[in-house]
């Protein structure tokens, strides 16, 4: 191949240039602005960050966010593991069906899903009315407008995000390895625990990282299904900015949220390698 | 705006066509593109400072948008300006964002009165011109440098008649009394009048209400918490909760209460007894696109008594002017928060108190209810 002439090089530079410019203008500059607000509003100083460390109500929100995200991650990844496992050993038709179900759920608007859950779960909703009719409960169960509802909605939203990266690592498990183990006398339980599970661990780690990080920024689902009782960081930031017009605190919490995302990404990257996590998305 | 866009698209198509035929060099095409983009940006900048020929009035959306359109339909003829109603909600943060970023889209905001005090203090609002706006028309609600009452609404008790037999709640004491009136409750999420309701329920007299005893009010709210199904955040949500029977009693806006009663054929009823009257406000963001003059003209028009009556007809938003009340039909007078017989049963919200304390108190309130 001939070396690029200076003319073509110029064109390439010209074509690539918009990307860094876009990143700087669209991301770096606004983020720097937000960082600036967190130190200057309502007055210069670190009082906003001090409040994050001291104020009970802020810590409640931060801990609740972490707790809900952890719960969501564990449950979604667990469910996704079962789905991916079923998919791995399904017939081609079965696989297609599973993929279809996962993708349809993936493509549905999150607003529609949240409202659907609200209709199902509320006091006069289908689930409570059925249980009441069957005589299994005396009064409607509080299934929604609380943390339970928020986690449920988030799990539903996150399962596809967990399944998709897992499918790749499940596909790559070699049938011959499993057969070898069986022919050497391993029980089905041993095959699963000692062979299958370790081989699919990277996919699971990737899924956990992705789900946890996505969960941190959840806004619509916990806002609708939590009904004001499961306010997470993103909703609290919105509250600070638009209900209280307290930009300094909103900005500070946005920076805190971003730091949480970065730290989580670094931990997962260090433990499992970024390549595996990103590779899981292929 | 639309015209300009069509013009740009057309120019681009012509240029692209020429380039295809080889009559315009690639460089020429790019230069043309840059020039066009430049003119679009300049156009936007120019728009921001000149008269736009239209006044954008923003309110809180839903049925209030057609309500405003209907009530103020005559403004175009009176002023020669086009009226545009935007329902995206002029929250304090939203107004602040627009003014600080220099991208003001709204001319007149139908805001919260305490927001008008606070935004005015931060110099984010135009001063109102009381040579154009007749302040003598305002009998209910606040008149200050940056805001003038535009209509009134009340936080009232709405209840499911099937839940309590013949008993009808008539006070906030009843609202808190879950023995006599068993069932779930709902309150407004952004607090506005909730502290007042709690204190009245706790035995404070209307005269002693202000300054609010926040600790006492929050303690009283905490008492009711186990019975509060949820705090509604939008008017539509409050309607749904009562219509579907999810709650037995709710603190809702009188405008919505009337709609729920209609929707349920009277199963859900409501009362002005104990209601908290809240005047809303006209305010003008600093640097509004149509210019301050056009905004003042709109406000002056909207405050004409006969126009206030139209708003009451269209959306049950109560007049702020006794002269307008005199023009109401007997039926509308029944639904009007400021009619003498209704007014005497209620308490007027003190927005000055909220202007000074709303932020910190709302944070405490939200922390209490689980935010």
Q: Is it the case that residue B98 has pLDDT exceeding 90?
A: yes
Q: Which residue's entry shows tokens 């929604």? A: A144
Which of A145, A241, A242 minimises the CB distance to B229?
A: A145
Residue in chain A nearest B244 by alpha carbon: A124
Average pLDDT over residues A2-26: 83
- The structural domain count of chain A equals 2
What is the crossing angle of helices B64-71 and B305-315, to 10°? 150
pLDDT computed for residue A2 by the predictor = 53
pLDDT computed for residue B29 by the predictor = 45
Residue A196 · residue A173 · CB < 8 Å: yes
Query: Does residue A45 lie in a domain region?
Result: no
* A123 and A8 fall within a common domain: no
Token pair, residue B268, equals: 């859900």
pLDDT computed for residue B5 by the predictor = 42
Q: How many CB pairs under 8 A join A and B?
A: 63
* A34 and A154 fall within a common domain: no
User: What's the whole-model pTM score?
Assistant: 0.81
Which of B93, B229, B369 minimises the CB distance to A243?
A: B93
Residue-wise pLDDT tens digits, B311-325: 999 988 999 999 999
In whole angstroms, give the CA distance from residue B319 to residue B279.
9
* A16 and A83 fall within a common domain: no
* Lowest mean pLDDT segment, chosen from A15-29, A90-104, B213-227, B337-351: A15-29
In whole angstroms, give the CA distance from residue A86 to residue A81.
8
Q: Is it the case that residue A247 has pLDDT exceeding 50?
A: yes
Flag whether residue B366 sits within 8 Å of chain A, measured between CB atoms. Answer: yes
Flag whether residue A145 sits within 8 Å of chain B, measured between CB atoms. Answer: yes
Question: At residue B285, what are phi and psi to the nearest 5 degrees?
Answer: -65, 140
Question: At residue B250, what are phi and psi to the nearest 5 degrees?
Answer: -145, 150
Q: What is the CATH number of the domain that holds A68?
A: 1.10.3720.10
* A171 and A255 fall within a common domain: yes
- What share of chain A in percent tops pLDDT 70? 95
* A35 and A124 fall within a common domain: no
A194-229 core/surface letters (b: 16 or more CB in 10 A; e: else) = ebbeebbebbbbbbbbbbbbbbbbbebbbbbbbbbb
Q: CA separation (Å) from A198 to A189, A268, A273, B150, B285?
A: 13, 17, 16, 68, 61
Q: Is it the case that residue B3 has pLDDT exceeding 60?
A: no
Torsion sign across C-alpha atoms B194, B120, B280, B205: positive
What is the torsion angle, in degrees rounded to the nearest 10, for the CA atoms of residue A115, residue A117, residue A120 and residue A125?
Answer: -60
Distance from CA of B192 to the nearest CA of A (A): 11
Q: Give the distance between the most distant pair of CA atoms in chain A.
A: 81
> In which band, very low, low, confident or very high, does the pLDDT at A275 lie, cut at 50, 70 and 90?
low
- Find chain A residues with C-beta within 8 A of B190's C-beta: 243
In SS3 terms, chain A reads as CCCCCHHHHHHHHHHHCHHHHHHHHHHHHHHHHHHHHHHHCCCCCCHHHHHHHHCHHHHHHHHHHHHHHHHHHHHHHHHHHHHHHHHHCCCHHHHHHHHHHHHHHHHCCHHHHHHHHHHHHCCCCHHHHHHHHHCCCCCCCCCCCCHHHHHHHHHHHHHHHHHHHHHHHHHCCCHHHHHHHHHCCCCHHHHHHHHHHHHHHHHHHHHHHHHHHHHHCCCHHHHHHHCCCCCCHHHHHHHHHHHCCCHHHHHHHHHHHHHHHHHHHHHHHHHHCHHHHHHCCC
Residue-wise pLDDT tens digits, B297-308: 999 999 999 999
ipTM of the complex: 0.78
Q: Which of residues 2-61 of B touch A (CB under 8 A)?
A: none
Residue B172 · residue B201 · CB < 8 Å: yes
Q: Which of residues 99-128 of B touch A (CB under 8 A)?
A: 118
Other CB atoms within a 10 A radius of the CB of residue B243 amount to 16
- Find chain A residues with C-beta within 8 A of B192's C-beta: none
| Interface probe with B: pick from A242, A249, A250, A251, most Cβ of B within 10 Å | A242
In whole angstroms, give the CA distance from residue B187 to residue B323.
33
In whole angstroms, give the CA distance from residue A160 to residue B243.
35
Query: How many CA atoms within 13 Å lie on the side-chain side of A106?
Result: 13
Query: How many CA atoms within 13 Å lie on the side-chain side of B108?
Result: 29
Strands B185-188 and B268-283: unpaired
Q: Which CATH architecture has domain B54-152+280-340?
A: 3-Layer(aba) Sandwich (3.40)
pLDDT computed for residue A277 by the predictor = 59
Residue-wise pLDDT tens digits, A173-191: 999 999 999 999 999 999 9
* A25 and A91 fall within a common domain: no
* Nearest in space to B53 (alpha carbons), one of B303, B294, B302, B300: B294
pLDDT computed for residue A3 by the predictor = 61
3-state secondary structure of B81: coil
Flag whether residue B371 sits within 8 Å of chain A, measured between CB atoms. Answer: yes
pLDDT computed for residue B35 by the predictor = 44
Other CB atoms within a 10 A radius of the CB of residue B327 amount to 16
DSSP B308-356: HHHHHHHH-PBPS-HHHHHTS-HHHHHH-TTSHHHHTTSEE--HHHHHH
Terminal-to-terminal C-alpha distance of chain A? 30
pLDDT computed for residue B8 by the predictor = 43
Question: At residue B109, what are phi and psi to the nearest 5 degrees?
Answer: -110, 135
pLDDT computed for residue A123 by the predictor = 85
| Interface probe with B: pick from A228, A230, A234, A251, most Cβ of B within 10 Å | A228
pLDDT computed for residue B46 by the predictor = 40
Residue-wise pLDDT tens digits, A103-158: 998 898 889 999 999 999 988 889 999 999 999 999 889 999 999 999 999 999 99
Residue-wise pLDDT tens digits, B43-89: 444 444 446 789 999 998 888 899 999 999 999 999 999 999 999 99
In whole angstroms, give the CA distance from residue A110 to residue A93.
28
Query: How many CA atoms within 13 Å lie on the side-chain side of B102?
Result: 6
The number of residues making up chain B comes to 371
Token pair, residue A4, equals: 């690029």
Strands B249-253 and B147-160: antiparallel
Token pair, residue A246, equals: 């307290």
Residue-wise pLDDT tens digits, B144-153: 999 999 999 9
Query: Does residue A146 lie in a domain region?
Result: yes
Average pLDDT over residues B339-353: 95
* A242 and A131 fall within a common domain: yes
In whole angstroms, give the CA distance from residue A213 to residue A281.
14
Q: Is it the case that residue B14 has pLDDT exceeding 60?
A: no
Q: Is it the case that residue B272 has pLDDT exceeding 90?
A: yes
Other CB atoms within a 10 A radius of the CB of residue A99 amount to 15
Q: Which domain holds residue A1?
A: 1-40
Question: At residue B58, what are phi and psi to the nearest 5 degrees?
Answer: -110, 135
Which of A60, A228, A239 minimises the CB distance to B230?
A: A228
* A275 and A228 fall within a common domain: yes
Flag whether residue A228 sits within 8 Å of chain B, measured between CB atoms. Answer: yes
* A18 and A129 fall within a common domain: no
* A117 and A223 fall within a common domain: yes
| Mean per-residue pLDDT over chain A, rounded | 90
Token pair, residue B334, equals: 């029944």
Provide the H-helix boundaries in chain B. Answer: 2-20, 26-47, 64-71, 75-79, 92-101, 113-121, 172-176, 194-201, 214-224, 235-243, 254-263, 292-302, 305-315, 322-326, 330-335, 340-343, 351-369
Q: CATH top-level class for B153-278+348-369?
A: alpha beta
Given an 8 Å threshold on Cβ–Cβ distance, is B96 in contact with A57? no
* A32 and A165 fall within a common domain: no
Q: Is it the case that residue B215 has pLDDT exceeding 60?
A: yes
* A71 and A199 fall within a common domain: yes
Residue-wise pLDDT tens digits, A46-82: 999 999 999 988 999 999 999 999 999 999 999 999 9
- Contacts with B186 (C-beta within 8 Å, 6 or more apart), sequence order: B228, B229, B230, B231, B232, B238, B241, B242, B246, B247, B249, B250, B251, B252
- Find chain A residues with C-beta within 8 A of B244's C-beta: 122, 124
pLDDT computed for residue B236 by the predictor = 85
> In which band, very low, low, confident or very high, does the pLDDT at A16 lie, cut at 50, 70 and 90?
confident
């Amino acid at each position: 191949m001939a070396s690029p002439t200076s003319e073509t090089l110029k064109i390439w530079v010209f074509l690539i240039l918009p990307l860094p410019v876009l990143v700087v203008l669209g991301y770096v500059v606004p983020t720097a602005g937000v960082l600036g607000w967190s130190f200057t509003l309502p007055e210069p100083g670190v009082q906003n960050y001090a409040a994050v460390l001291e104020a009970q109500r802020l810590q409640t929100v931060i801990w609740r966010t972490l707790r809900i995200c952890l719960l969501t991650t564990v449950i979604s990844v667990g469910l996704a593991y079962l789905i991916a496992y079923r998919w791995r050993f399904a017939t081609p038709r079965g696989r297609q069906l599973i993929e279809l179900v996962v993708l349809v759920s993936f493509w549905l608007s999150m607003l529609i899903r949240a409202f659907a859950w609200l209709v199902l779960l509320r006091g006069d909703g289908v689930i409570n009315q059925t249980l009441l009719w069957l005589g299994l409960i005396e009064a409607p169960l509080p299934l929604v407008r609380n943390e339970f509802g928020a986690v449920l909605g988030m799990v539903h939203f996150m399962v596809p995000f967990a399944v998709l990266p897992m499918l790749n690592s499940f596909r790559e498990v070699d049938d011959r390895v499993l057969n070898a183990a069986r022919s050497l006398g391993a029980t089905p339980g041993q095959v699963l625990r000692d062979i299958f599970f370790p081989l699919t661990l990277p996919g699971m780690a990737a899924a956990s990282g992705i789900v946890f990080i996505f969960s941190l920024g959840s806004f619509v689902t916990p806002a609708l299904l939590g009904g004001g009782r499961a306010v997470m960081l993103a909703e609290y930031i919105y509250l600070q900015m638009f209900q209280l017009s307290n930009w300094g605190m909103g900005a500070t919490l946005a920076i805190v949220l971003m730091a949480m995302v970065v730290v989580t990404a670094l931990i997962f990257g260090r433990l499992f390698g970024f390549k595996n996590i990103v590779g899981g998305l292929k | 705006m639309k015209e300009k866009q069509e013009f740009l698209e057309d120019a681009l198509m012509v240029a692209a066509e020429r380039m295809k035929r080889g009559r315009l060099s690639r460089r020429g095409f790019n230069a043309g593109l840059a020039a066009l983009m430049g003119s679009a940006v300049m156009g936007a900048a120019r728009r921001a400072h000149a008269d736009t020929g239209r006044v954008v009035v923003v309110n809180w959306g839903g049925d209030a948008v057609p309500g405003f359109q209907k009530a103020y339909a005559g403004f175009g003829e009176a002023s020669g300006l086009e009226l545009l109603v935007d329902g995206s909600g002029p929250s304090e943060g939203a107004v602040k964002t627009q003014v600080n970023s220099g991208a003001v889209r709204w001319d007149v905001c139908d805001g919260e009165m305490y927001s008008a005090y606070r935004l005015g203090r931060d110099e984010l609002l135009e001063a109102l011109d009381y040579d154009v706006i007749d302040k003598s028309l305002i009998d209910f609600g606040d008149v200050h440098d940056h805001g003038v009452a535009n209509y009134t609404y009340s936080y009232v008790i709405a209840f499911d008649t099937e839940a309590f037999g013949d008993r009808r709640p008539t006070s906030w004491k009843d609202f808190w009394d879950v023995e006599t009136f068993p069932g779930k409750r709902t309150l407004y999420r952004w607090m506005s009048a909730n502290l007042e309701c709690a204190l009245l329920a706790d035995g404070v007299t209307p005269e002693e209400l202000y300054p609010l005893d926040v600790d006492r009010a929050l303690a009283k709210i905490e008492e009711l918490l186990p019975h509060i199904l949820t705090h509604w955040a939008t008017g539509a949500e409050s309607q749904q909760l009562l219509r579907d029977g999810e709650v037995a009693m709710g603190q809702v806006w009188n405008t919505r209460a009337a709609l729920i009663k209609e929707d349920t054929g009277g199963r859900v009823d409501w009362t002005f007894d104990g209601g908290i009257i809240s005047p809303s406000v006209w305010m003008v963001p600093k640097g509004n696109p149509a210019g301050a003059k056009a905004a003042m003209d709109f406000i002056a028009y909207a405050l004409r008594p006969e126009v206030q009556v139209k708003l009451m007809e269209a959306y049950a938003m109560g007049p702020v002017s006794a002269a307008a009340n005199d023009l109401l039909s007997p039926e509308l007078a029944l639904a009007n928060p400021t009619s003498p017989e209704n007014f005497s049963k209620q308490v007027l919200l003190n927005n000055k108190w909220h202007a000074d304390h709303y932020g910190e108190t709302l944070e405490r309130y939200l922390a209490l209810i689980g935010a």
